[in-house]
Structure 1
Amino acid sequence: MVKRFKSMEGKQLIYESYNRLLERWEVDKEEMDIETGYGKTHVIISGNRANPPLLLFHGTGDNSAMMWLLNIQELVKHFYIMAVDSLGGAGKSEPNESYLKKFDLAVWVDYILDALNINKTNIAGVSYGGYMSLAYAARNPDRVSKIVCMANYPSVKGIKSHLLILRSVKVFLPEILNPTEENAVKLLQKLTGPNSDVFSLNKEMMKHWLYILKYSVVSKNKVIHFDNEAMSVFRDKALFLIGDSDRVIYHPAVIKILNDNNLNYKIIKDVGHAINHEQPKLINREIIDYLLVSA
C-alpha cells in the first residue's frame, strides 16, 4: 500500500480543493485514468487534438490542478494538453505496489503516450517535473520533440551535486516540519521572488497549498545524473528557465553546468521557484515561442 495522505479526511479536503481549482481552469477538459504497470495515472486532457501535443509534469508533492491553473488558458490555444498527476504526488493518480518496487519513469511515460495514441510529444515540467521531462527525453529521445524545463537543471556527478541537493532541501526547513498556516506563508515567501502575492491573492490556491503541506505524504524521488549523451539530447531539444530569486535552483554551480554543456537557458528576473505562477504571461510566451515559433 502506497501511503500518499496522512488521513482520509485530509485526502478528501485535497480532492475537493483540487476539483474547485480545476473548475477555475475555465477550459473544456476531460479527466481520465490510464492503467499502467505502476498504478492508475490521472491525466487532464484539454485542447484541440489537431494541435501539437504537450505533456505537462508538475513538481514534487504537487498536482496538475494547481500547477497549471495560471497557464492553461493560454497554452490550450496552441497545444493539445495532457497534464499528468504524477504517481506518489498529491493528485488523483493511485500507485500500486510495483511503483515502490520497480518504478521506471520512461516505461511509465510510454504507457501514458501509448494509451493516448501519441507517438511524439513536447514536454514541459516545473521543478521535479522538469527533471522528469529530461529523464524521459534522455531515455526515449525519438518520442520527444522539445522540452521546456522550468526551475530545474540536468544534474551531473560530483561533490557539488550533493551540496546543491542539500542546499535545496534546507530551503524547506524548518517550515515543512510544522505545516501551520503561518509556516505555509513563510515557506511560500522563501520559494518565491517579489511576486509571492500571486498565492495569497488566490484564496483557493493558498488553501490547497496548505492542505498539501498538512495532509500529503511527499514521496522520495529518485534522481539520476546525466551523461554526455543525454546532454547532447538536451542541447538539441531543451530550453531551461530559471528564476534569479530561486533559492532552490539558482546557483553559480548550476549556471556552470548549463554553460559547460552549451545548453539553451534563460534567467528570469525577479522570479523564484514557483516560476510559472509568478510570471505566467512571460512563461507562457517562452513556452509557446520555443516549442512552436522556433520549431
Structure 2
Amino acid sequence: MKDRTIYKRDGKKRIMQHYDRYVNSFDFGVERIFVETSYGKTHVLVAGPPEGKPVFIFQGGNCINPMTLSWFLPLMGHYRVYAPDTIGHPGFSDENRISAKDDSFARWTKELMEHFHVERSAFVGPSYGGGIILRLAAFMPDKIDCAVLVSPAGITLGSKVRMMGEILLPLVMYQMTSSPRHLDRIADTMSQSSMKEVDKNVIGDVFTYLRLEQDMPKLTTKEELKHFNAPVLIIAGEKDIFFPEDRLRIRAQEIIPNLIECKSYVMGHFPSEEHLVKINQDIEEFLHKYY
C-alpha cells in the first residue's frame, strides 16, 4: 500500500502547474521520461546533446526539480543532463519517501543509471541533492567520476536556534495566516533578499500545500567515504542559514578524501542570478579539468 499523499487539498495540481510552467520556460528541448524503479516510478528530465558526457543533477529538497535545474542551464550546452524528480518530493515521481539514512538513494540512482545505460557519471547536487550524492559516494563510489556539491546537505548543519527563529517560526506563521510578510522573511533569509518572484511563489505554495520532508540526509562520516576518491568541488554560501560555509569547509576537509576545492560566495542558500553566473563558470572549469 502506498504512503499517504504528500500534498494537501488541491496542492498537487497547483504545484504541478508551477512545474510545467518552469519546464516550458526553458529555451531548449526537454524530454520527460518515466523510469520504473524498485522504489517507485521516477520522472526524469533529460536535456542536452545525446552525444554529450552524462551529468546527473539532483534537485533541492521540498522544491520542484526544474527550479533547481534552472540554476545550471549552461551545462545543457555540452552535457547530456539527467535530472530526476526525487521520489517523495514535489514533482511527477511517486510520493512514497526514500530514506536518506541508508543505501536506498544509492540503489535508486544505480537503477536510473542502468535505465539510461550510464556506467559512471559526473554528479551535481544542490542542498538535499548534494546529500543524495553523498549517499551514493558512501555505498557505490565507483559510479561517480566527479561531483559538484552546491550548499550541500549531508555534511554539517547551521545553528538550529537561528533556523528556528528565522525559518521555522515565520513558516508556522505563514501557514497560519498566508501573510506575504512571513513568506518574504523566509525568502529573504534563504536568498539574501535576491529570490526571484516566480520562485517565491513556488515555495509559498510548497509551504502551503505540501507535507514537508523534515528529515535531512544523514550526516556523512569519514569512514563512509574511505573508498570514495573521485574529485569533488564544493560551492558554499557564507550567509547560508542551513549549511554555512565556515562549518561546511572544516567538516568537508575532514571527511572527503579528494576535495579539490571549497569555493565560497557571500550568498544565502538560494544563489542570486549574479552568483549563478560565477557558480556555473566554476562548475564548467571543474568538469573540463576533471571529467
Query: Cα 1:168–1:266, aligned 2, differ >3 Å: closer, same or farther?
Result: farther
In the TM superposition, what is the alpha-carbon distance from 1:29 to its structure 2 partner? Answer: 0.8
Query: Cα 1:78–1:220, aligned 2, differ >3 Å: closer, same or farther?
Result: same
In the TM superposition, what is the alpha-carbon distance from 1:99 to its structure 2 partner? Answer: 7.3
Query: Cα 1:93–1:278, aligned 2, differ >3 Å: closer, same or farther?
Result: farther
Query: Is 2:226 the counterpart of 1:228?
Result: no
Please name the residue that 1:199 is paired with: 196
In the TM superposition, what is the alpha-carbon distance from 1:175 to its structure 2 partner? Answer: 1.8
Query: Cα 1:235–1:167, aligned 2, differ >3 Å: closer, same or farther?
Result: farther
Query: Is 2:138 the counterpart of 1:142?
Result: no
Please name the residue that 2:39 is paired with: 38
Query: Cα 1:257–1:6, aligned 2, differ >3 Å: closer, same or farther?
Result: same
Q: Is the 8 A contact 1:33 1:40 kept in 2?
A: yes
Deviations 1:40-76 (A, max 9, x none): 111100011211111111111012111122432x110
Please name the residue that 2:253 is paired with: 259
Query: Is 2:280 the counterpart of 1:284?
Result: yes
In the TM superposition, what is the alpha-carbon distance from 1:131 to its structure 2 partner? Answer: 0.8
Query: Is 2:10 the counterpart of 1:14?
Result: no
Greater relative contact order (Cα < 8 A, sep 6+)? 1
Query: Is 2:265 the counterpart of 1:269?
Result: yes
Query: Cα 1:271–1:12, aligned 2, differ >3 Å: closer, same or farther?
Result: same
Which stretch has the larger CA shift, 165-174 or 144-153?
Answer: 165-174
Q: Is the 8 A contact 2:154 2:216 kept in 1?
A: no
CA distance in 2: counterparts of 1:222 and 1:173, whole angstroms: 15
Please name the residue that 1:51 is paired with: 52
Query: Is 2:2 the counterpart of 1:3?
Result: no
Tell me the secondary structure at the aligned position of residue 16 of structure 2.
helix
Query: Cα 1:95–1:176, aligned 2, differ >3 Å: closer, same or farther?
Result: same
Tell me the secondary structure at the aligned position of residue 92 of structure 1.
coil
Identical pairs, percent: 21
Query: Is 2:177 the counterpart of 1:175?
Result: no
Q: Is the 8 A contact 2:127 2:151 kept in 1?
A: yes
In the TM superposition, what is the alpha-carbon distance from 1:207 to its structure 2 partner? Answer: 1.9
Query: Cα 1:154–1:79, aligned 2, differ >3 Å: closer, same or farther?
Result: same
For 2:196, give the aligned amino acid: F
**TM score, norm. by length of structure 1:** 0.85
Deviations 1:215-242 (A, max 9, x none): 1111243533433344445564211110
Query: Cα 1:219–1:198, aligned 2, differ >3 Å: closer, same or farther?
Result: closer
Q: Is the 8 A contact 1:241 1:268 kept in 2?
A: yes
Please name the residue that 1:219 is paired with: 213
CA distance in 2: counterparts of 1:49 and 1:140, whole angstroms: 25
Describe how 1:127-166 pairs up with structure 2 within 5 A: 127-152=127-152, 154-155=154-155, 164=158, 166=160
In the TM superposition, what is the alpha-carbon distance from 1:136 to its structure 2 partner? Answer: 0.7
Please name the residue that 1:115 is paired with: 115
Deviations 1:229-283 (A, max 9, x none): 4444556421111011112111544332133346333343221101375622111
CA distance in 2: counterparts of 1:234 and 1:59, whole angstroms: 23
In the TM superposition, what is the alpha-carbon distance from 1:126 to its structure 2 partner? Answer: 0.7
Tell me the secondary structure at the aligned position of residue 249 of structure 2.
helix
Tell me the secondary structure at the aligned position of residue 70 of structure 2.
coil
CA distance in 2: counterparts of 1:228 and 1:98, whole angstroms: 23
RMSD: 2.6
Please name the residue that 1:158 is paired with: none
CA distance in 1: counterparts of 2:96 and 2:252, whole angstroms: 36
Deviations 1:6-47 (A, max 9, x none): 11x221111111111111111111111111111111110001
Deviations 1:143-167 (A, max 9, x none): 1111100102653xxxxx6x74735
